[in-house]
Structure 1
Amino acid sequence: MLKSPAILALPAEIVEAILTWCAATDDPCAIASLAQTCRELRSIVYAAEDRHLWRLVFLAVFDDPREVDPTVNDSDWYRAFTERVWARRYIDGHTRPLQVTKKPRSLRSTLSNKSIQVPGTLDQLLDEHASVVHIENLRALTAINNVICTAALCTSFTPRLAVRTDSHDLPPLTELHAHTPPFPPHPPPENLSFNVEWLRHTLSDGLPYSITGLLSNNRQDLSWRHLPEAQEVGRLTSCLGFIPVPVIESQDAAQPSPTRRTTRQSKPHHSESTMLLDMSESAQRQRARDCARPLAFWMRYLSRRRNWGPYLPWPPKTPKPEIAAVVDEPSEDDDDEDMDSDGDYVPPAGGGDTSSSSATPEPQPGGSSVPHDTVPSPENLYPDWTWLAAARVVAECKLRAHVDAADIARLEAWDNLRAGAWIPPPDAGRDGSADILVEAGPSDDEGEEWKKHQRDWAGAEGTWRRLVCWLDYDDLIYHNSYGDFIDPRLDEAWIIVPLSMQITGYSAPSVAAYPDRPTIHIKGEMGGAGWVGSVDVNDEDVRHCHGTVSMLPDGNVRWSVTSTAPNSMHDEWASEAVQLGGVGSAMGALGMWTGAFHEDDDPLGVMWQWRVA
């Protein structure tokens, strides 16, 4: 008769400590291996009634998600842990650095003794992967994005401005610009995050090419936006930036295997239209920008159904399949086949003699109908992470080309995605003194609950920098009408300007599910084109701005800011942006700018703003 393992003679607390230590020493699969040795251990690991062991194991490896999401259920510890372990094993099993051979003026890649031949079209790339790959990609990316969203809170930066005044108004924009840095401060070195370290280790060799290739293929094809994993790919890229396949340079890379060459020649469908890609980092980033431009500057993307911002269209034209419900991705006919003209456009009030308010509403799934001239309610606005990913690629390419690498690293540090960096302590006002807000008195009306939470919960008030990218209007029109955005002479104009924000008031939450986060109303000033490369600028080159900070139904933060024309109080440009990472993160908000009145042929471009003081 087999004896029970000696470990079972130990007290239960010691056994649990051993299992927790196994997870903490970067070998989470050791728990599963140990559970397979006997029924008793399997029962301890998998059949415990209260699941407290899995809470201990989870917290030995990851940050406590309850810090940022109090709704986390104790029963989810096991599933959350195993999903992340599965994602890491999946990424490890499908990624590796490329071995490359240096050649004059070119770089060709080899991987495990075979040439990297990439299908000439995205359709071929997708044909070579069964649907199960898309589902596995979705599962892995969902787990990784969850790690990002639940990273530990960042220690709040000192909520003091470099320049103080006796009034409640912020100092002039010129002073703020002269006395504040262009990029966020470094997070405190002692304030570490298990989640961020896990991300660095898991993604050290990049992502599977079935994911990276969607963003950096040799064809500018937008159809990948309708894959099951598209929104999760976009969200990861929006937060972490484009992650190229890493390369290892070698003098003599192995030649392609004759067996592999014969195999490829036996499939003429693929061999006739495949090509070797330059897999150097610069080439991968260039292809990513080439793929991003057609979406980031797609004028027909602007639509009332998207609230003229980077949001999924509402209502969807067709019922979503089950897998789409997970990622809120619209069907292909939502915006690719019927966007030759903006059928949702309605002239602003007083702007013309015609109106579509009397038009017959389009039948909607489930028998409901939405008036043609109605923008989506806040409860129906969800980020379109595919567009935001394109915006991130365009923005970071401009920064890498023109900004010092150390400054870029300060902005793009993954720790900057953690919530709380710019959220002031409850007792801190604008200058670090006692909070100037007056708490609302008790009320029997549940609808007035938000008045008890009037505070800067988003870290809005302060000094910011805003990166704005755009194309020359003639280029924008040409490439939207006739071109493909592939032109060696095509380049985005860009500018980084100062932006000040001051809270002017609060109103009821835009989404009722977040009663503790009322809508924040802000005003401020923003620099114009004259601020490029100089702090000694004319006070006249200042745009007034106003807007709101509110919640989206999926828990992301929405930034809606409108700016005026120079030397005027008339609105000119409007921007819609989504916070990257957690609430009050140092990474800031990424989004879109366009005309304030949403007229036909309005331009659009990329904007990224981050707080600096």
Structure 2
Amino acid sequence: MSDYAQSPRPEPLHLVPPELVSSPIAIPRRAGSPDLPVFMKDICFSATSSNYPQTPPLTSSLTMSASPASPQFQSPLLRTPCEIIHKVLCSSGVRDPVGLARAARTCKELGSLIYESTDTALWREIHLELYDDPRLSGTVSGGRDVVWKRSVQQREFVGRISREWSEERFGELPILLEPICSILQGLYLDIPPTAAPSNDTDSEMTDDSASSISSSASASSVDSLNIPLLEAILRSPIFAHLYYNHSYRATRPTLRPLSGQTASPLRRQTREDIHPVLSMLHCLLPPDFDGEDEHHRTHRGYLREMVYTASNYTEKNDWGPFNSDGEVDWRLLDALSSIMMANARDVIALGEDSWRLALQPLSFGLEAVRGWGWIDLRRPVDLEADDVWDWAGVEGTWCGSYAFLDYADWITLNEPRIVALRRQVGQLDLARYAEAVGDLLHMHLTIDRPCDKSKDLLPPVTSGIPTGDLLPPIHFSGSSAPTSAAWPSPAASSFVRGTVQLTADWPPQVRWTMVIRYGGEDRWKVEGVQMGGRGSKRGFFGVWTDATKELHSPNGPAWYWKT
């Protein structure tokens, strides 16, 4: 008999951390598995045998060699130098994180090395092999504390359920909505930036700052590890189920019929946003609506209704996809971007050659929403002190277009009582509607310099809601004309002017405000947000409204991207 007393069998060490599954809502359990939540049964190693040898716990940390106190019961691995143990565990964790969790349950001493060591090097190295380094994030300025083990556990959990859960288990997803959204948002926020117009690294700076800049520059030159993982999850049936079924709650209000009517055929559902992060994540990729799928058609109709409902754009949100506090309204931005990208795909499918220019921003998946980030915000050293820094990449040629409803249909949507009084009681079916798409436009923009006083004669483009102050506003002007016109043509082109500034979000978003002028008058105003931040290839999506906000003036979506 061994000199050591038999240790009690260790508690299961789960890959999913307890805080991920703690919830006041009762978690469903499968029959025959009373000890573990149903979704943890897939992650944890279920060991029913008691034949695993038990060893006394380590008294030394991972930085010291594991002493072979009981060679006849101790694994040969634990008698090797600590560097070899660390290398084996790290390689195993990178190849198969679930296998590492199972190995931790075979031996209390091994489990202590994997889960209880105060040294975070093991989980940090596993994390950096599997995912992007969050300390070089392109969306959050500066480093931050990272709980490496928990981050790996949570992301592995979401990745496994997106790959392995069948449709029969989708009913368990609502109680996981909050953690799944948080984990996916973290994957997106940790994506490193793309290469931005660089500063002169020979300028004077401290060694620490030079090292930081160099690190961020090298991070931006490599492929992202998070992008293929996140893109696979966003295209999975799991995310589609969450988005189509749990991004909003639909109710049908009780309306009193008009005089002489037995019922109101114009009654519509109202939808309450449940989780804005779902809408934000859906914005990252072009929508994949199937015209033969009734669920997809219904949802596209709901997005159309949201886009063209004039009451969604008021003075409180500066007639744009924003909240009154100056932050982005992701529900509206998701509707605007989804409708415009879906319309662009429809036009391209019809064989419109000029619209092939839209293939680039529609392609490359999440790479198209990977911007310059917020790590290096220094002015270029070769820029004159009185010159304007184009930190958003405004100057240059942009392509874009817009969409609109037939005005009679827009009135039907926004003024149902007027239509009902005229006894035109046919309901507008936006699920089967095909709105008109405008010409593809070329827009050439330049930055307004302090020396240019001619722009001072026009009314300034201002904001009525809070904005971010991390970077100064950029004022621009230029001209816009259809690609089919002999551009630039004074007869066919219009004058545009506007402002690019940051929203009040954190991380901030890039907000575009643009006024389009025809015949010496301001006609239309566009308020939009650039998906992916400054320098992203997807461009900005927004809503166009009447510049003077006349009564019963129409509105619709718009999309511009840089060529």
Q: Report the TM-score, using the length of structure 1 for normalisation.
A: 0.61
Alpha-carbon deviation of 1:6?
2.5
Among candidates 562, 565, 574, match of residue 514 of structure 2: 562
Partner of 2:115: 46
State whether structure 2 residue 497 is matched by structure 1 residue 545.
yes
- 1:436 aligned to 368, 372, 383, which one? 383
Equivalent in 228, 233, 238 of residue 278 of structure 2: 233
Instruction: Kindly provide the CA deviation profile for residues 337-393 of structure 1, in whole angstroms up to 9, marking residues without a partner as x.
Output: xxxxxxxxxxxxxxxxxxxxxxxxxxxxxxxxxxxxxxxxxxx22211111111122
**CA pair 302-83 structure 1, distance change in 2 beyond 3 A:** same
Change in Cα spacing, 1:287 to 1:607, as seen in structure 2 (3 Å) is same
1:32-80 Cα deviation digits (max 9, x unpaired)? 2222222333222222324233222211111112222344433433333
1:604 aligns with 2:546: no
Please list, as runs of the form range in 1=range in 2, the aligned pairs for 1:112-127 lying within 5 A after superposition: none
Partner residue of 1:199? 230
Secondary structure (helix, strand or coil) at the match of 1:44 reads helix
Contact 1:63–1:150 (Cα < 8 Å) also in 2: yes
Match of 2:174 in 1: 134
**C-alpha displacement at 1:407, in angstroms?**
5.3
Matched-pair contact (CA < 8 Å) for 1:497–1:532 = yes
Q: 2:347 matched to 1:402?
A: yes
Take 2:117 and 2:386, find their aligned partners in 1: how far apart are those partners? 46
- Does residue 342 of structure 2 align to residue 420 of structure 1? no
Q: State the identity %.
A: 20
Shift of 1:536: 4.4
Q: Is the 8 A contact 2:306 2:332 kept in 1?
A: yes
SS at match of 2:272: helix
Paired residues in the alignment total 426
Shift in Å at residue 394 of structure 1? 0.9
1:63 maps to what in 2?
Answer: 132
Within 5 A, what are the aligned runs for 1:170-209? 191-208=222-239
Distance 1:12 1:455, change over 3 A: farther
Corresponding letter in the other structure for 1:55 = R
Superposed displacement of residue 84, structure 1: 1.8
Partners of 2:465 and 2:147 lie apart in 1 by 26
CA displacement, residues 206-230 of structure 1 (integer Å, 9 cap, x when unaligned): 3355324338999997655332x2x
Alignment of 1:199-598 (within 5 A): 199-208=230-239, 210-214=241-245, 223-227=270-274, 229=275, 231-243=276-288, 285-312=296-323, 314=324, 380-403=325-348, 408-412=358-362, 413=364, 414-420=366-372, 435-438=382-385, 455-482=389-416, 483-486=427-430, 488=432, 490-504=434-448, 517-528=470-481, 531-536=482-487, 538-540=489-491, 541-568=493-520, 570-598=521-549
Cα shift at 1:421: 9.0
Q: Deviations over 1:536-559 (max 9, x none)?
A: 452232222122322422223232
**Cα distance between partner residues in 1 of 2:116 and 2:474:** 51
Counterpart amino acid of residue 190 in structure 2: T
Q: Take 1:602 and 1:420, find their aligned partners in 2: how far apart are those partners?
A: 37
Distance between the aligned counterparts of 1:64 and 1:497, measured in 2? 39
Paired residue secondary structure (1:403): helix
1:5–1:533: structure 2 CA closer, same or farther, 3 Å change rule? Answer: farther
Q: Does the 8 Å CA contact 2:142/2:375 hold for their aligned counterparts?
A: no
Matches within 5 A, 1:84-99: 84-94=155-165
DSSP 3-state at the match of 2:534: coil
| Distance in structure 1 (CA, Å) of the matches to 2:506 and 2:553 | 29
Give the CA deviation at 1:283.
5.8
Structure 1, unmatched stretches of 5+, are 97-110, 113-127, 160-188, 245-278, 315-379, 429-433, 441-453
Distance in 2 (CA, whole Å) between partners of 1:588 and 1:222 is 32
SS of match in other structure, 1:55: helix
Gaps of 5+ in 2: 3-52, 54-72, 200-219, 253-267, 350-354, 417-426, 451-462
- 1:258-286 CA distances to partner (integer Å, 9 max, x unpaired)? xxxxxxxxxxxxxxxxxxxxx77676654
What does the per-residue CA deviation read over 1:426-472, in whole Å, with 9 as the maximum and x for residues that have no partner?
Answer: 786xxxxx7323289xxxxxxxxxxxxx7333222322222312223
- 2:383–2:389: 8 Å Cα contact kept in structure 1? no
Structure 2 match to 1:341? none
Give the letter for the 1:206 counterpart.
P
Contact 1:466–1:497 (Cα < 8 Å) also in 2? yes
Structure 1 residue identity aligned to 2:225? F
How many Å separate the matches in 2 of 1:595 and 1:280?
32
2: CA distance, partners of 1:70 / 1:510: 27
TM-score (norm 2): 0.65
Contact residue 501 and residue 525 of structure 1 kept, 8 A: yes
